[in-house]
Structure 1
Amino acid sequence: MGFTVPLLARQRHPVAVFAVITVFSLAEAVSGLLTNAHFLAQLIMLYNLARFAPPVHLAVAVAITVPQTIVTIMTFAQDTQMSRIDSPLAVTIDLVLCILAIAGLGLAGRVARSYIIALEDQAARLQVERDQRARLAEATERARISREMHDILGHTLAVVVGLADGAAGLAETNPKKSGETLRIIADSGRGALADLRRLLTAIREEGRHEAPFHPQPGTGDLGALLERTRAAGPDARLETAGDLTGLPAGLQLAVYRIVQEALTNTLKHAASDTAVRVAVIAEQDAVHVTVEDTGPPALERARSSEGGGQGLLGMRERAALYQGTVTAGPNSAGGWSVRAVLHSTPPVKAGLDAHQA
């Protein structure tokens, strides 16, 4: 009982149980008894010390158990008839080797257990990181979709409002021109709906094949963009330099959206004599975008109050994808200027590049 009952707590209290087993072993030896339970209990406790106790406790236990075993065997070999123990030296060596082997086996189990715990911790961390990346990807995708819809709807509605105002004024004086303006409004609306359908189709798995994909707008579509702006009232002209068609598709889309948003802002505040100049210059490692209009200056304060709006924020986010910057403010002509610089090779092609149709 003295050797078996304490073993029930060997994992929770290995040091205390080893001390109890050692005391019972010494008591057994003093009483003149020598049983297999004595050595078996000590071997079990050495294994558990190696598995669950600090290594220094195992070293102390081995330092106690080995001399105790040697003294016990040699004492019994001298005090009893030799027939009870055959070759006491060989038995002693075997027991010492067994003690060391058990201690080594326990250490191996300890290392394996630590490795398994480390793997479990790593798996848990990877799960958390995967969930965080998934949430981040979802937030990024939502922001991208919101930005795209803002650009599409904002510009189209600004054009439609400008054209509708013009058509209302021409309805009686020039019905033919009014009809042409209404057709431009319809074309603009259909174009916006097509853009929205393409965007929503791209993010709906169940509708992946319901509509054909078309290329996202790029620098080659700037002319058509300015045509719609001119149709809405302002005199718009485009100046380009460098190889714009050779730019990456994602960079072309960023340039297009920045110009589109700047023109949308112009249309919101345009007067009858407003003129706007768009300049896009492609250099070896950067693209410079400038959108300048002529006013009217009475709206400078109103525009300044909108400087922190979603439009400017969206332009800056697009420029940031290409290590670029966007600045906006009043110009010398009494109007508003938007200037952007985008670098040709972004550090991480994410967001827009990953969603090219």
Structure 2
Amino acid sequence: MTAHPAPAPGAGRLPRIPESLSSDPEQRVIVSIVTRLAGWRLADRAHPWVRLWGVPAFCATLGITSLLNPANTTVWPVQLALAAVFSVPLLWREHRPVLVFVVTTAVSVAGLALGTFNGADAARAVALFNVGRHGTPRQLAVCLSVTVAHLIVWGSVYWTGGQLQYATRPVVVTLLAISAMVAFAGLGLAGRLVNAVITTLEKERDQQARLAAAQERARVSREMHDILGHTLAVIVGLADGGAALAPQRPERGAETLRIIADSGRDALGELRRLLAVIGAEDSPPGGVPLAPQPGLADLDALLERFRAAGPTANLHAEGDLASLTQGLQLAVYRIVQEALTNTLKHAALDTTVTVRLTADADAVHVDVDDTGPARPAKTRGSGKGLVGMRERAALYQGEVTSGRNAHGGWSVHARLVATTPTHHAEKHPA
């Protein structure tokens, strides 16, 4: 019998409609219909044998009932043979739709020659439906033309032979039969179009999933850059300071090492939390809750670690900063963190840094100024830090500027709009 391929990946779950369609009120009816059809297709994939064998069995049953038609003068073995020849080819209706149509039409012509009206003749409608669903448009047009011509002959023969002597309007019945066959062909074509739509929606859903994964990887990359860049800069600064102080104040060595260890543990904890976000779907239920994203309340701890590396740091805050959204607070925190990291990399250890946060009705202003002086750079910066700050500000329709200041140091100014963040800013804070 016909071999059936294994279900395709994703065949065991109902396709999700992309948000761009499901969120549109005008498309809800269409989405509902497509979802229902997709559910039926899913059930068919789960139990393909039901439709494969059920349709031929139904047509064979109609052929058996024709034995009760007194107008049929053909012996019953011939009628049963006609019912079988009508029904059995339907098992290959999806893989060889045109061939099955030819076979069923030929059997119908044979029935006409024998003067036998067989209910299994409904197999021709099934065959025409599958030509519309799996054949080419040209094949469907040819098969439909053959069907119309055949029905005209079929009506003439059966009314002349008396099998349909109960019909008072033979022309109307013939037209109804033709209309029904055209409808079956149209349903097959519509089913093909619906499958194409569902396949397109599935592809769009997969593309959106891949795009979301790429955006998440980019977010994770920026977070790792900020976390590792700042922590390593603090550790390098502490190590340089500890090495310089070791001959004069050896007792500071243990304290410096402790701060280095604490900074490393903090960075490791943030990285674990960040990586856990990627694998959140695989995490067992009831697991340990993840640490929250840092916000403005964590700036004091950030500045403490910065001061431990040598520089002096001051924080000035104005306005209602506590009412800012979590995503906006995270963006401000990362901008300050990156600016302090650049100070550790490029300014002298005795520099003084002033961080000013000002929140007004429309925006949040972030100013980070150090007094320098600049020290010779052992390695050239990649520029990713400034790019990352600008990307975070862009999420909130803001901008970042930086440059030399009047004190001989470096200044960073960022402005982030607090009222109308761009899309996904709150859902996926960068």
TM-score of the pair, normalised by structure 2: 0.60
Q: CA deviation at 1:316?
A: 2.5
| Alignment CA distance shift 1:92-1:318 (3 Å) | same
DSSP-derived class of the 1:327 partner: strand
DSSP-derived class of the 1:174 partner: coil
User: Deviation per CA, 1:38-73, whole angstroms, max 9, x where unpaired?
Assistant: xx9xx9999988976788997999699869988x99
Aligned counterparts of 2:269 and 2:162: Cα–Cα separation in 1: 98
Which residue is 1:218 aligned to?
Answer: 295
DSSP-derived class of the 1:255 partner: helix
DSSP-derived class of the 2:366 partner: strand
User: Deviation per CA, 1:104-132, whole angstroms, max 9, x where unpaired?
Assistant: 10121122112211221122112212222
The structure with the largest helix share of the pair is: 1
Q: 2:417 aligns with which of 329, 340, 343?
A: 343
Aligned counterparts of 1:173 and 1:280: Cα–Cα separation in 2: 38
Aligned counterparts of 1:314 and 1:98: Cα–Cα separation in 2: 75
**Residues 179-188 or 117-126, more deviating:** 179-188
Which residue is 2:27 aligned to?
Answer: none
8 Å contact from structure 2 (residues 347, 374) kept in 1? no
Q: 1:331 aligns with which of 405, 417, 422?
A: 405
8 Å contact from structure 1 (residues 237, 276) kept in 2? yes
Q: 1:155 aligns with which of 230, 238, 244?
A: 230
Aligned counterparts of 1:225 and 1:309: Cα–Cα separation in 2: 22
Aligned counterparts of 1:87 and 1:194: Cα–Cα separation in 2: 84
DSSP-derived class of the 1:256 partner: helix
Is 1:261 aligned with 2:335?
no
8 Å contact from structure 2 (residues 398, 417) kept in 1? yes
DSSP-derived class of the 2:251 partner: helix
DSSP-derived class of the 1:175 partner: coil
Which residue is 1:167 aligned to?
Answer: 242
Q: 2:305 aligns with which of 228, 231, 254?
A: 228
Which residue is 1:246 aligned to?
Answer: 323
Aligned counterparts of 2:333 and 2:403: Cα–Cα separation in 1: 20
Q: CA deviation at 1:327?
A: 2.8
Which residue is 1:322 aligned to?
Answer: 396
Q: Which residue type is aligned with residue 308 of structure 2?
A: A
| Alignment CA distance shift 1:157-1:58 (3 Å) | closer
8 Å contact from structure 1 (residues 62, 99) kept in 2? no
Spell out the pairing of 1:276-315 with structure 2 (5 A cutoff).
276-296=353-373, 306=381, 309-315=383-389
Which residue is 2:173 aligned to?
Answer: 98
8 Å contact from structure 1 (residues 170, 177) kept in 2? yes
Aligned counterparts of 1:319 and 1:93: Cα–Cα separation in 2: 78
Which residue is 1:189 aligned to?
Answer: 264
| Alignment CA distance shift 1:130-1:230 (3 Å) | same
Aligned counterparts of 2:276 and 2:153: Cα–Cα separation in 1: 80
Q: CA deviation at 1:93?
A: 3.6
In the alignment, structure 2 segments of 5+ residues that lack a partner are 1-85, 90-96, 103-108, 133-138
Aligned counterparts of 1:314 and 1:87: Cα–Cα separation in 2: 82
In the alignment, structure 1 segments of 5+ residues that lack a partner are 1-6, 17-23, 25-33, 77-83
8 Å contact from structure 2 (residues 396, 416) kept in 1? yes
RMSD across aligned positions (CA): 4.5
Which residue is 2:93 aligned to?
Answer: none
DSSP-derived class of the 2:396 partner: coil
Aligned counterparts of 1:251 and 1:152: Cα–Cα separation in 2: 17
Q: Which residue type is aligned with residue 341 of structure 1?
A: R
Aligned length: 327
Aligned counterparts of 1:210 and 1:65: Cα–Cα separation in 2: 69
Which residue is 2:186 aligned to?
Answer: 111
User: Deviation per CA, 1:3-51, whole angstroms, max 9, x where unpaired?
Assistant: xxxx99xx759xx9xxxxxxx9xxxxxxxxx9858xx9xx999998897
8 Å contact from structure 1 (residues 47, 105) kept in 2? no
8 Å contact from structure 1 (residues 46, 102) kept in 2? no
TM-score of the pair, normalised by structure 1: 0.71
Aligned counterparts of 1:229 and 1:58: Cα–Cα separation in 2: 81
Aligned counterparts of 1:251 and 1:278: Cα–Cα separation in 2: 17
User: Deviation per CA, 1:199-247, whole angstroms, max 9, x where unpaired?
Assistant: 3344443477664433221111212222222221222222211111111
DSSP-derived class of the 1:349 partner: coil
Q: Which residue type is aligned with residue 311 of structure 2?
A: P
Q: CA deviation at 1:192?
A: 1.7
Which residue is 1:270 aligned to?
Answer: 347
Which residue is 2:195 aligned to?
Answer: 120
Where in structure 1 do 4 or more consecutive aligned residues deviate above 6 Å?
Answer: 43-51, 53-70, 84-88
| Alignment CA distance shift 1:64-1:195 (3 Å) | closer
8 Å contact from structure 2 (residues 335, 389) kept in 1? yes
Q: CA deviation at 1:260?
A: 0.2
Aligned counterparts of 2:284 and 2:176: Cα–Cα separation in 1: 66
